[in-house]
């Protein structure tokens, strides 16, 4: 990257917005001018970047003059409303919301899996769902080698996937429960402390949730293979950061667990954490704040001929959102 870029962060005061700023700083992204954009609620706020304070500006259709790259994490409705204005102003937008993910004109990109799709952009590149990103990072090298026919995945998703208010509520519920005090869930339909909720987002007509169907459609689009069958169950768990997934796959060609481990050892963005006899396997507390997708418990599925099971963990705010978007910006 030889030149410096004018970068706008849309949704700068949110959890992912803050993570954008941290990662841009850590990776020394070549920034000429930085613009922080948020809603009316953030009026008067300022955020620190590279030791300097930047005022948060209110997002409008005129916010994008002279901007080269927009990193957006302000929700689907705002992306739909404002990103066309950014494209019109000449910016390339990397959108973390669900707004454009399944749009045929918009590439859906995980840099370790389908970097070539970036070239097809017409001003907007979509960042996939957090739970999809970590799964495809782990499965792409296996798909390349043995062609995946079917994926059955159960996710164990941290509360931060639903935003800061849900993080705060888990804290409050846990404290109240331990103090034997009553509490009424506000951000969740039921108690989340010491409980699991087998629902993330709304239920669709087929009795799957929107989150589960996102994993189905996004996986096929990123892997560039509509023949892959995907069955997902998404569960919210009382963990603050990092999503975990139990992933079972059936491949067209046989691949042993050892061959899969060899592929994962060399795979970009993957860290193999797999020595079960010494109790070494990935956990959410190991992934928090880390860039890599951690993979362990790789084993043969003994119920079918060409099957593998594995356990996949990643920080949903970093790799599942902000880092993936910035890696796309670096490739741009």
Q: Are 296 and 273 in contact (CB under 8 A)?
A: yes
Structural tokens at position 119: 């070239």
Residue of 93, 121, 143, 243 marked catalytic: 243
For 155: left if phi > 0, alpha if psi spans -120 to 50, otherwise beta; the answer is beta
Catalytic residue among 93, 121, 130, 143: 130
Minimal CA–CA distance to 233: which of 199, 264, 270? 199
- Return the number of other C-beta atoms located less than 10 Å from residue 286's C-beta: 18
Name the burial class of residue 220, with classes exposed (0-12), middle (13-18) and buried (19+) by CB atoms within 10 angstroms of its CB.
middle
DSSP character string of 271-282: EE--BGGGTB--
Measured CA to CA, the distance from residue 60 to residue 41 in angstroms comes to 14
Composition of the chain by helix, strand, coil, percent to 5: 35, 25, 40
Rg (CA), the chain: 20
- Name 46's bridge partners: 55
For the question of residue 130 being annotated catalytic, the response is: yes
Give the catalytic positions in this structure. 130, 243
């Amino acid at each position: 990257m030889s030149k410096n870029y004018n970068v706008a962060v849309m949704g700068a005061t949110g959890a992912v917005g803050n993570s954008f700023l941290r990662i841009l700083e850590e990776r020394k992204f070549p920034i000429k001018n930085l613009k922080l954009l948020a809603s009316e609620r953030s009026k008067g706020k300022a955020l620190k970047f590279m030791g300097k304070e930047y005022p948060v500006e209110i997002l409008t259709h005129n916010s994008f003059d002279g901007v080269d790259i927009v990193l957006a994490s302000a929700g689907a409705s705002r992306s739909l409303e404002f990103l066309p204005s950014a494209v019109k102003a000449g910016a390339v937008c990397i959108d973390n919301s669900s707004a454009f993910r399944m749009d045929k004109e918009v590439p859906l990109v995980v840099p370790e899996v389908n970097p070539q799709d970036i070239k097809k952009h017409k001003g907007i590149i979509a960042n996939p769902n957090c739970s999809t990103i970590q799964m495809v990072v782990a499965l792409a090298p296996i798909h390349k080698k043995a062609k995946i026919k079917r994926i059955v995945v159960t996710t164990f998703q941290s509360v931060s996937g639903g935003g800061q208010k849900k993080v705060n509520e888990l804290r409050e519920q846990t404290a109240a429960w331990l103090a034997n005090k009553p509490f009424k869930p506000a951000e969740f339909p039921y108690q989340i402390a010491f409980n699991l909720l087998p629902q993330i987002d709304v239920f669709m007509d087929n009795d799957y949730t929107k989150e589960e169907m996102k994993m189905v459609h996004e996986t096929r689009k990123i892997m560039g293979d509509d023949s892959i069958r995907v069955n997902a169950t998404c569960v919210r768990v009382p963990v603050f950061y990092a999503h975990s997934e139990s992933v079972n796959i059936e491949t067209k060609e046989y691949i042993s667990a050892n061959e899969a481990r060899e592929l994962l050892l060399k795979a970009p963005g993957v860290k193999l954490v797999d020595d079960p006899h010494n109790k070494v396997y990935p956990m959410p507390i190991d992934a928090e704040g880390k860039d890599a997708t951690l993979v362990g418990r790789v084993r043969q599925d003994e119920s079918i001929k060409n099957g593998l099971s594995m356990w996949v963990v990643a920080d949903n705010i970093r790799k599942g959102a902000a880092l993936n978007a910035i890696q796309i910006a670096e490739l741009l």
